[in-house]
Copies of this chain bind each other. A is one copy, B any other.
Amino acid sequence: MSILTIGTMAFDSIRTPFGSVERVIGGACTYISWAASYWYNDIKLVSIVGEDFPEDEVRALQQRGVDMEGLVRVAGKQSFYWAGSYHADMNNRDTLVTELNVLADFNPVLPEAARNSAFIMLGNLTPNIQLSVLNQLSSKPKLIVLDTMNFWMDNAMDTLKQVIARVDVLTINDEEARQLSGEHSLVRAAEAIHKMGPAYLVIKKGEHGALLFHNGQIFFAPGLPVPDVVDPTGAGDSFAGGMIGYLARTGDVSFSNMKTAIIYGSTMASFCVEEFSLNKLRYLTQEELHERLRQFEQLSTFDVRELSVVNKA
Binding site for B on A (CB under 8 A): 17, 37-41, 64-65, 88-90, 184-188, 205, 208-209, 211, 217-223, 225-229, 246, 249-250, 256-257, 259-260, 262-263, 282-286, 289-290, 293-294, 297-313
A297 touches B286 (CB 8 A): no
**Chain B residues with CB under 8 A of A211:** 225
Q: How far is the CA of A246 from the CA of B312 in the complex (A)?
A: 15
**Chain B residues with CB under 8 A of A293:** 304, 306
Other 8 A-B pairs with CB < 8 A, given A260-B304, A263-B302: A38-B309, A38-B311, A209-B209, A218-B225, A218-B299, A219-B298, A220-B300, A259-B303
Q: How far is the CA of A249 from the CA of B309 in the complex (A)?
A: 10
A310 touches B227 (CB 8 A): no
**Chain B residues with CB under 8 A of A88:** 184
B65 touches A310 (CB 8 A): yes
6 pairs, A vs B, C-beta closer than 8 Å: A37-B311, A38-B311, A220-B222, A222-B222, A284-B313, A293-B304
* Across the A-B interface, the 8 shortest Cβ-Cβ residue pairs: A220-B222, A208-B208, A259-B302, A283-B313, A286-B309, A64-B311, A187-B227, A41-B310
Q: How far is the CB of A88 from chain B (nearest CB, A)?
A: 7
> A178 — nearest CB in chain B belongs to which residue?
B89
Q: How far is the CA of A185 from the CA of B90 in the complex (A)?
A: 10
A307 touches B209 (CB 8 A): no
> A302 — nearest CB in chain B belongs to which residue?
B259
B289 touches A219 (CB 8 A): no
**Chain B residues with CB under 8 A of A303:** 256-257, 259-260
**Chain B residues with CB under 8 A of A89:** 184
B219 touches A302 (CB 8 A): yes
Q: How far is the CB of A259 from chain B (nearest CB, A)?
A: 4
**Chain B residues with CB under 8 A of A311:** 37-38, 41, 64-65
A39 touches B310 (CB 8 A): yes
Q: How far is the CA of A41 from the CA of B311 in the complex (A)?
A: 8
Q: How far is the CA of A300 from the CA of B38 in the complex (A)?
A: 25
